[in-house]
């Protein structure tokens, strides 16, 4: 069995091969599915929000960042963002299991993670404002750092998001608003929530926006790289809207979509497409990832260390 600090996924960057992106994305998927199983088995208490179906954007956008200096501020559905940023599988699982060797000693849990330059908070919208402040501080430091703020289309119901975008544009801050438009907010479809157009909202603040499919890792990575580079160079915000269906429930058991709708979504699972693109290596990757998750789970279920 590996030592706990070896239980991690390899993160990717702009130079990584497709198979490496697949390994990371597959790792995220397996982690999330394993997590839901653990909840179903009653081994974990509390709540969690898995990003099943949305792994591509997490991997691709994060790969476009410079991990030595860039900051990431995520939301309640941040496991994919977190693992794409640092790959720390065991600390994440341990955190959700409430162990003292978790990312935040069991105090933050699934929605409140911090490691190096990664932050997230579970109250919708507020983290976007914090991210703008982070971007300001980094701009002051003049080290060219870019801040990536993750938010979903549901977040655009919160007023503070608009306040944050307004200030970010006004003050010309180096922030990338990475929007995951998965078409649903908890159990409410986006069209019942959002008037007008998502992209035009950014335009209203003079924030250049690019919309991409979010299901093709290379395409998404290229767009993300363009956006990140522009932010870094121009020192002003940009927005990247990726679209990928949330395949899992909002948290656990709260998916009100019908079986036909879900089936259709799963039929176009972008991870399956990425797997095909990964080619012959896919099988071995699957096995490695499965083994890693098994070990991680065993370690998380093992005797707790003294706090």
Partner 1 sequence: MSRPTSVLASLNAGLRAALAEDARVIVLGEDVLDPYGGAFKVTRGLSSDFPGRVLATPISEAGIVAVATGMALRGLRPVAEIMFGDFLFLAGDQIINHAAKYRAMFNQQVRVPLVIRTPMGGRRGYGPTHSQSLEKHFLGVPGLWVAAPHPLIDPGALVRQAIEIDDPVLVIENKIGYGEPLRDEVAGYETVRIADEQAPFATIWLKPHAPADGLLLCYGGMTPIALEAARHLRERERLDLGLVVVSQLAPTPVSHLDAIMAGTETAVVVTVEEAPPEGGWGAEIIATIERIRDARRRGAIAYRRVGARRAAVPSARALEDDVLPQVGDIAAAVLDCF
Q: Strands 71-74 and 147-152, how do they pair?
A: parallel
- Point out which residues bind partner 1 (CB under 8 A): 71, 73, 103-105, 107-108, 112-114, 119, 121, 123, 126-138, 140-141, 159-160, 163-164, 166-167, 170-171
Instruction: Pick between residue 121 and residue 242 the one whose CB is nearest to partner 1.
Output: 121
Q: How far is the CB of 173 from partner 1 (least distance, A)?
A: 9
- Residue 118 has phi, psi (to 5 degrees) of -105, 130
Instruction: Pick between residue 171 and residue 188 the one whose CB is nearest to partner 1.
Output: 171
Instruction: Pick between residue 143 and residue 191 the one whose CB is nearest to partner 1.
Output: 143
Q: What count of other Cβ atoms lies within 10 Å of the Cβ of residue 225?
A: 17
Instruction: Pick between residue 110 and residue 251 the one whose CB is nearest to partner 1.
Output: 110
Q: How far is the CB of 150 from partner 1 (least distance, A)?
A: 14
Q: How far is the CB of 147 from partner 1 (least distance, A)?
A: 8
Instruction: Pick between residue 166 and residue 213 the one whose CB is nearest to partner 1.
Output: 166
Q: How far is the CB of 239 from partner 1 (least distance, A)?
A: 17
Q: Strands 184-185 and 188-189, how do they pair?
A: antiparallel
Instruction: Pick between residue 20 and residue 70 the one whose CB is nearest to partner 1.
Output: 70
Q: How far is the CB of 162 from partner 1 (least distance, A)?
A: 8
Q: How far is the CB of 246 from partner 1 (least distance, A)?
A: 24
């Amino acid at each position: 069995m590996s030592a706990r600090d070896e239980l991690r996924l390899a993160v990717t960057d702009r130079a990584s091969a497709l198979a490496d992106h697949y390994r990371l994305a597959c790792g995220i998927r397996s982690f999330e599915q394993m997590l839901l199983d653990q909840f179903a088995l009653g081994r974990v208490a509390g709540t969690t929000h898995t990003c099943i179906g949305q792994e591509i954007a997490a991997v691709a956008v994060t790969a476009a960042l410079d991990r030595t200096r860039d900051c990431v501020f995520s939301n309640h559905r941040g496991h994919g963002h977190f693992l794409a940023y640092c790959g720390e599988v065991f600390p994440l699982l341990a955190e959700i299991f409430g162990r003292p060797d978790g990312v935040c000693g069991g105090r933050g849990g699934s929605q409140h993670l911090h490691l190096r330059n990664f932050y997230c908070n579970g109250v919708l919208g507020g983290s976007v404002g914090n991210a703008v402040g982070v971007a300001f501080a980094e701009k002051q430091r003049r080290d060219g750092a870019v801040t990536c703020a993750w938010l979903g289309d549901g977040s655009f119901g919160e007023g503070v998001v608009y306040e944050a975008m307004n200030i970010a544009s006004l003050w010309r801050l180096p922030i990338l608003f990475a929007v995951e438009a998965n078409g649903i907010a908890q159990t409410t479809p986006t069209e019942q929530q959002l008037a007008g157009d998502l992209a035009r909202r950014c335009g209203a603040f003079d924030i250049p926006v690019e919309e991409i499919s979010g299901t093709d890792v290379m395409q998404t990575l290229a767009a993300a790289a363009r956006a990140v580079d522009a932010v870094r160079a121009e020192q002003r915000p940009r927005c990247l809207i990726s679209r990928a269906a949330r395949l899992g429930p909002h948290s656990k058991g709260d998916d009100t979509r019908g079986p036909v709708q879900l089936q259709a979504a799963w039929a176009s699972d972008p991870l399956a497409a990425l797997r095909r693109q990964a080619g012959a290596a896919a099988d071995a990757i699957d096995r490695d990832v499965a083994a890693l998750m098994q070990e991680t789970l065993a370690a998380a279920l093992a005797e707790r260390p003294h706090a």
